[in-house]
Amino acid sequence: MEGTVRERVMVRLERCVGCRSCEMACRVAHSRSGILRDAVCEEPRPLRRIFVEQAADSPAPFLCRHCEDAPCVRCCPTGALAFDEESRLVVYGVERCIGCHACVMACPFGVIQPGRGDGYVVKCDRCVGREEPACVEACPTKALVLESRFLSERRRRTAIQFVQAARGGPRVEDMLASGSP
Amino acid sequence: MRETPTRQRLIIDFEKCCGCFACAAACPEKRIAFSDQGTERRFSAPGVCSGECETCRKVCPVDAIVLEPFPLEDDECHPPALTWTLPLVRCRRCGEPFTTEKIRRMTMEKLTMLLEAPDAVSDWVPVCLACRRIEEAHRVRTATRTLPDPLR
């Protein structure tokens, strides 16, 4: 079982600069040819699964969160959308889908969209066959990271801060009181 | 002896139809069509359909389609083509029509029943996809501003 779990993508909002590299990488990764030069000419145009939205002046990327008890899965009348216990992802089975778009309406985050061409709906599949999803790979500021990397980096930072404190920096109690690490 | 009918009459319960266009998407011959015009979704379907295909009846999530055998030789009375319309609803935020009123109501009812927080449902169901993301972006931004950066 262990090892088949597909890590989720974490978003570090404070790092996002709104360059939309992830959107482009997502389109290319889900195009027929898989390369940018040919993907731009494809018809129907490849769709993205990640969306960078602007909240006031701050960009925020959105993609499927692969919720454990997801409204989209609950609303699907045919079981085309299901939570896969093995990979811990919400997976879309196109062969069961009838195209009623109940999931599109049910998703609170608006990340399932009506499809064109193959498949009735389009959602993040966490890049089948790739170890690291295309969006994570493409993000120049590492605003998009995989869970394990997010956690290990956080541990590393915490360790650094404790070491600094031990060497005569601010007291650990003060650091904890201020909310960091 | 009558020969086996190779045509079917299409009977659609317009009251039941929710306007999801699963039938239009599934029809192998693309005989069921729809288009959004202003605040209405217009559907059209043939009165009689050839063949043994039952795809549209099978996919309909609300069982609004009935297929009846229609004799081949009965060319005198031809059931007319079917057309029906369903009202669309506008997004609460941007005001663009985005789904049928019925689908919105059904999604609300279903989610209210399924989820533990029935009040939360009205937060997103009356809003179109792009606006849901924008609203969530604002919520996330507001929430993260009050929290210290976990990596700093």
Q: Are A13 and B140 in contact (CB < 8 Å)?
A: yes
Identify the pLDDT of residue A172: 65
pLDDT, tens digit, 9 for 90 and up, residues B67-83: 988 877 666 667 788 99
Residue-level pLDDT at B80? 85
Task: Report chain B's mean pLDDT, rounded to a whole number.
Answer: 85
Domain parsing of chain A, residue ranges: 9-146
Minimum CA–CA partner of B115 in chain A: A71
Q: Are A74 and A66 in contact (CB under 8 A)?
A: no
Give how far the C-alpha of residue A122 lies from the chain's centroid of Cα atoms, to the nearest Å. 14
Residues in B closer than 8 angstroms to A157, CB to CB, are: 151-152
**Residue B25, SS3?**
helix
Kindly list the residues from chain A whose CB atom is less than 8 angstroms away from the CB atom of residue B61: 77, 98, 100, 102
How many C-beta neighbours within 10 Å does residue B87 have?
12
Which residue segment(s) compose the domain that B65 sits in? 7-86
Q: Which of B86, B101, B129 is the last residue of a domain?
A: B86
Residues from chain A contacting residue B103 (CB–CB below 8 Å): 101-102, 105
Element (H, E) at B34: strand B33-37
Residue B111 within any structural domain of the chain? yes
Residue B150 domain flag: no
Tokens in use for A107? Answer: 């998703």
CATH number of the domain enclosing B14: 3.30.70.20
Boundary residue ending a domain (B69, B86, B103): B86
pLDDT at residue B116, as a whole number = 77
CATH architecture of A9-146: 2-Layer Sandwich (3.30)
B129 with A113: Cβ contact below 8 A? yes
Q: Give residue B126's pLDDT.
A: 92
- In terms of Cα–Cα distance, which of B90, B88, B92 is closest to B134? B92
Query: In A, which residues are within 8 Å of B140 by CB distance?
Result: 13, 55, 60
- How many domains are contained in chain B? 2
Residues of chain A with pLDDT under 50: 1-2
Query: Is residue B152 situated within a structural domain?
Result: no
B1 lies in some domain: no
- Scan residues 111-150 of A and list those with Cβ closer than 8 Å to B: 111, 113, 120
Asked whether residue B30 falls in the same domain as residue B77, the answer is yes
The least confident of A110-124, B12-26, B87-101 is A110-124
ipTM over 0.90: no
Which of A10, A81, A100 to substitute to test the interface with B, most B CBs within 10 Å? A100
Average pLDDT over residues B100-124: 87
Are both B42 and B79 inside the same structural domain? yes
On whether both B70 and B100 belong to a single domain, the answer is no
For the ranges A26-40, B47-61, B78-92, which has the lowest average pLDDT? Answer: B47-61
**C-alpha distance from A124 to closest chain B C-alpha (Å):** 15
Q: What is the pTM of this model?
A: 0.81
Q: What pLDDT is attached to residue B143?
A: 81
Residues of chain A neighbouring B97 (CB-CB closer than 8 A): none
Alpha carbon of B4: minimum distance to chain A alpha carbons (Å): 29
pLDDT at B146 over 80: no
Based on the fold, state whether residues B109 and B69 are members of the same structural domain: no
Which residues make beta-bridge pairs with B37?
B40
